[in-house]
Amino acid sequence: MSSCRQNPVRKAAIGLSVSAVLIAMSACSVAPPDASETKTGSEQKLTTGDTSQLKEITDFCGDKPMKVALADGQGGNAWRKVTRAEFEDEASRCDNIEVLPYADGQNNPQKAISDVNALVAQGVNGLVVFPDSGPAMLPTFRTAFKAGVSVVPYTSNPGGTPGVDYTTFVSNNTAAEGGIWAAWMCQTLQPEGGNIVFLGGTPGNTQSLTELEAVEEEMASNSDCSNVKLLNKSGQPYDTNWEPTQGQKVVAGLLTQYQQIDGIISDSSQVVVAGLRAVKAAKRSTPAIATVDLNELSCLWETYDKAGDAFPMMSIDGRPWLVRIALRKAVADFQGIDNDEPNIVTVPIFEDTTDDSKPVRCEPSLPPEASVSSTLKPEQLQKVFN
């Protein structure tokens, strides 16, 4: 009998041994920097508020040396670049904070999980994560949190329980944004009213569904909306995958289906820009727009304005600064200082063509994808893109 042949029991034993070694190795990769720091928590209630309740990081720096890091589930766009710069700028204001290398999960859940594990192995104390992979990240968060790391996911909800599975969660107030868009749209379309559409992202994504629900609630309760008709079927955003080319096709389809579209609400300005191209190709009048701030849209609006074709537009703040709150929460937790800033922040209106105090802000020197609502100084923003 060949020496390569083994009986099944022996094979199973070897398999189990290899598995045990692999499990031990993977456990080593997320072992706590100091086993004595292992913590357990109790459920934390998330608070809602607005930007007037935000504080300075210097209130939470403390005096313990600490390592912080930002782990993105998916980098590779201007918003994430600005967010990263905001994070590093905020961290630089505390002398006792060291920033570990930035991690980009490249839209690969496996890599995103490995990134978090690697940062824990490097001794990170405060970890801010954009969990694009959602609940898939939860076991990793739980392990890191129990290992003593202050873990703060932001913007994308990973599920689980704040205070038990991770330190806390920070996000913009998605529901409030839907209401703000709908109220502005209804007011802007007065007195004639009209037809409006809501463009969402990927099919079934929670963010777009929550926003649409808020739009519908606002339209049901706001008297300005009595002669405004939402063309979406109830609870069904028009799916664009947040892809401009798909957005353009969807809007072209809507223009074919409906003779009159007076307003577009979308949680993606890039989709709006693409949709406006479809409107122009179809030679239809430009609808009112309610969306999120984006340099490309602002500059496009200026082009229309110069040509005498300005359309009503409102954008809420693109909140690339939200990551600063997440960092402050992580730092405060590690330093043992209370942080009473809101977890769920209602972001303000950034541009409104019907309000002179909120003019459209096009920055030609910045890339079209940039969010001009960044709190970075212009020279810092320039540096991000050079």
Partner 1 sequence: MRFAWIGVATVLLFVMSPLIAPGSLDSGALAGMVPFAAALALIAVGQTLVLAQGGIDLSVPAIVGLAAVVVTKFADGDDAKLPLAMVLTLVVAAAFGLVNGLATTKLNITPFVVTLATNSAGLGVIYIVSNEFPTPAAPALTTFMSAQWIGVPTPAFVAVAVVAVAHVLLKRTTRGRVFLMVGANRTAAATMGIRTDRYVVGAYVLAAVCYAVGAIILAGWVRTPTLFIGDQYLLPSIAATVLGGTAMTGGIASVLSSSIGAVFLTQLSQVVLAAGASTAGQRLVEALVLAAGIAVQRLRLPRALTPAGRTRRQEARDAVSEREPREELTNHVKL
List of residues contacting partner 1 (CB under 8 A): 75-78, 80-81, 203, 236, 239, 243-246, 248-250, 252-257, 270, 273-274, 277-278, 281-284, 296, 367-370, 385
Q: What is the spatial distance between Cα 60 and Cα 62, in angstroms, rounded to a whole number?
A: 6
Cα dihedral 159/164/167/171 (nearest 10): 30
Taking the complex as a whole, the smallest distance from the CB of residue 270 to partner 1 amounts, in Å, to: 8
CB-wise, 312 or 368, nearer to partner 1?
368
CA 265 to chain centroid, in Å, comes to 18
CB-wise, 48 or 304, nearer to partner 1?
304
CB-wise, 72 or 177, nearer to partner 1?
72
Taking the complex as a whole, the smallest distance from the CB of residue 273 to partner 1 amounts, in Å, to: 8
Taking the complex as a whole, the smallest distance from the CB of residue 283 to partner 1 amounts, in Å, to: 6
Taking the complex as a whole, the smallest distance from the CB of residue 244 to partner 1 amounts, in Å, to: 6
| Among the listed residues 194, 136, 178, the one whose alpha carbon sits nearest the alpha carbon of residue 160 | 136
DSSP annotation of 231: -
Taking the complex as a whole, the smallest distance from the CB of residue 120 to partner 1 amounts, in Å, to: 25
- Residue 159, classified by CB atoms within 10 Å of its CB into exposed (0-12), middle (13-18) or buried (19+), is middle
Taking the complex as a whole, the smallest distance from the CB of residue 231 to partner 1 amounts, in Å, to: 9
The string over 25-34, giving b where at least 16 C-beta atoms fall within 10 Å of a residue's C-beta and e elsewhere, is eeeeebebbe
Taking the complex as a whole, the smallest distance from the CB of residue 67 to partner 1 amounts, in Å, to: 24
CB-wise, 188 or 270, nearer to partner 1?
270
Please report the sign of the dihedral spanned by the C-alpha atoms of residue 173, residue 181, residue 270, residue 365. Answer: negative
Q: What is the spatial distance between Cα 96 and Cα 335, in angstroms, rounded to a whole number?
A: 11
Cis check: omega of the bond before 8, within 30 degrees of 0: no
Q: What is the spatial distance between Cα 4 and Cα 80, in angstroms, rounded to a whole number?
A: 52
Taking the complex as a whole, the smallest distance from the CB of residue 253 to partner 1 amounts, in Å, to: 3
CB-wise, 77 or 157, nearer to partner 1?
77
Q: Which residues contact 279 (CB under 8 A, 6 or more apart)?
A: 251, 255, 285, 286, 287
DSSP annotation of 138: H
Taking the complex as a whole, the smallest distance from the CB of residue 272 to partner 1 amounts, in Å, to: 13
**Residue 207 CA: distances (Å) to CA of 172, 175, 199, 273, 280:** 11, 9, 12, 20, 29
CB-wise, 160 or 200, nearer to partner 1?
200
Please report the sign of the dihedral spanned by the C-alpha atoms of residue 258, residue 267, residue 350, residue 372. Answer: negative
CB-wise, 61 or 273, nearer to partner 1?
273
3-class secondary structure, 304: helix
CB-wise, 76 or 359, nearer to partner 1?
76
CB-wise, 191 or 235, nearer to partner 1?
235
Cβ proximity of 211 and 243 under 8 Å: no
Q: What is the residue-wise DSSP string for 187-219?
A: HHTTTT-EEEEEEESSTT-HHHHHHHHHHHHHH
